[in-house]
Amino acid sequence: MLLPYYGKFPIWINAFLRSCACNPNITWIIFSDLKKPSYIPENVQFTFLRKTDLSALIQKKTGLEHTLSNPHKLCDFKPLYGTIFEDYLISYDYWGHCDMDIIWGDLESFLQSISWNNYDIISARKWAISGHFTLYRNLPSINNLFRNVVNYQKAFTDESYQGFDEGYFSYFLFQKIYLKQKDIKIYWPMRNSIDRAELFLHPKGWYWQAGKIYNKYRKGGIYIHLIDWKRTFEQVCMGQPENQDFFKINQYGIWDQDIPIEVQLKLILTSGFRRRLMRRLRSTKRMLKTRLTGNRKAPTIKANVPQGYEVL
C-alpha cells in the first residue's frame, strides 16, 4: 500500500499503525518528510521524500506538467502510483493506494474470501475506484491505464483536486467494462468499507479487536474511513500501541478503556438527534410518495444494467 503524506501526522496515527500490524502479509510504504513516529510495525516502511522530490519523481516517471501546491491534489495522482513509485514495487505482485484517516480491519481475510489474485483491480466502492482503498495488479498494462483516459493531462495542471481517481478514472474503467473494450477483471460489486452512512447511523461508535472491526450488532467491514469523524476527534487515549488488542472508536476519539462520561453524554444527545432526523425523513418520504402516486402503489421500473451487476 502506497501512501505519500505531508503536513502533520493525525492524533490517531498509532491506531492506524496498529491496525496495519494486524495485517502482517500486507506492506505499507509511507512517503513523507516528517519525523518518523516512535511506533513502527514491521510491515510498515517510512521513506523520507520531500514534496519537491516527489514532484520531480512524478515529472520523471510520467512526463506530466503538474502542481502539488495543494496537499489534496495528491489524490488525483493515486491511479498513477504504480508508475510513479515503480522502483519500490519490483518485488510485489500488487500495489494499492489508501489514506491515513483509516482504521483497518481484517483486510487479509477479505482478500482471501474474494480470491483476490483472480482480479486486476480490487476496489472497496461499488462500480468506482475507492481513493481510500484500491488494489492493482502490478503490470505495465494496468499501471498505465490512466494514459487511456481522454485528455488526462488536464486533470494534473490545475492546482485544485479534480477527482481524477474516483471520477474520471472510474468512469473510464466502467465504460471499458460495459462496452467490452478492455479485458480487465475488476472486483467492485459492493461497498465494503464503514464510511459516511455507517458513521452517521452508528454515532456511538465501533470496536476494534484483534484486527477486526464491528459495532454493537456485531456488524463490521474491512476498515473504518474516518471521513467525517476526523473533524470532530478530540482525543486518542491508548497505551503502548504494540500491546493494543482492543479499543473503541466514536466521533470524538479513540479509547482503550472506559469512555469519559462527558463524551458519553454528547454521544447520547447526538444519537437522539439522528433518530429524530431519520424519523422525520421517513415520514416526509411517505407523505411525498402518497401525494405523487395518489395512494396507489408506485410502479416498479427495471433498470437496464450490464449482466452480472446489481440494480442500485
The amino acid at residue 181 is Q
Residue 126 shares a structural domain with residue 173:
yes
Query: Does 186 score more than 90 pLDDT?
Result: yes
Residue 116 shares a structural domain with residue 250:
no
The amino acid at residue 188 is W
CA–CA–CA angle 212, 218, 219 (5° rounding): 80
Residue 145 shares a structural domain with residue 208:
no
Closest by CA to 213, choosing from 97, 64, 106, is: 106
Q: What are phi and psi of 118, to 5 degrees?
A: -85, -5
Alpha-carbon dihedral angle through residues 209, 210, 212, 218, given to the nearest 10 degrees: -40
Q: Looking at the domain assignment, is residue 285 inside a domain? A: yes
Q: Looking at the domain assignment, is residue 298 inside a domain? A: no
pLDDT digits (tens, 9 = 90+) for 20-44: 999 999 999 999 999 999 999 999 9
Residue 86 shares a structural domain with residue 233:
no
Q: What is the reported pTM?
A: 0.84
**For residue 303, what pLDDT is reported?**
39
Residue 148 shares a structural domain with residue 214:
no
Query: Does 308 score more than 80 pLDDT?
Result: no
C-alpha–C-alpha distance, residues 252 and 140, integer Å:
43
Query: Does 63 score more than 80 pLDDT?
Result: yes
Residue 160 shares a structural domain with residue 250:
no
Query: Which has the higher per-residue pLDDT, 311 or 41?
Result: 41
**For residue 23, what pLDDT is reported?**
97
Q: Looking at the domain assignment, is residue 300 inside a domain? A: no
Domain count across the chain: 2
Last residue of a domain, one of 164, 187, 210: 187
Query: Which has the higher per-residue pLDDT, 47 or 228?
Result: 47
Per cent of the chain over pLDDT 70 is 86
Give me the mean pLDDT over the 121-135 stretch. Answer: 95
Q: Looking at the domain assignment, is residue 55 inside a domain? A: yes
* Cα–Cα distances in angstroms (integers) from residue 80 to residues 26, 33, 59, 247, in the given order: 20, 21, 12, 35
Q: Looking at the domain assignment, is residue 307 inside a domain? A: no
Domain of residue 32: give its range.
Answer: 2-187
CB atoms within 10 A of CB 64: 16
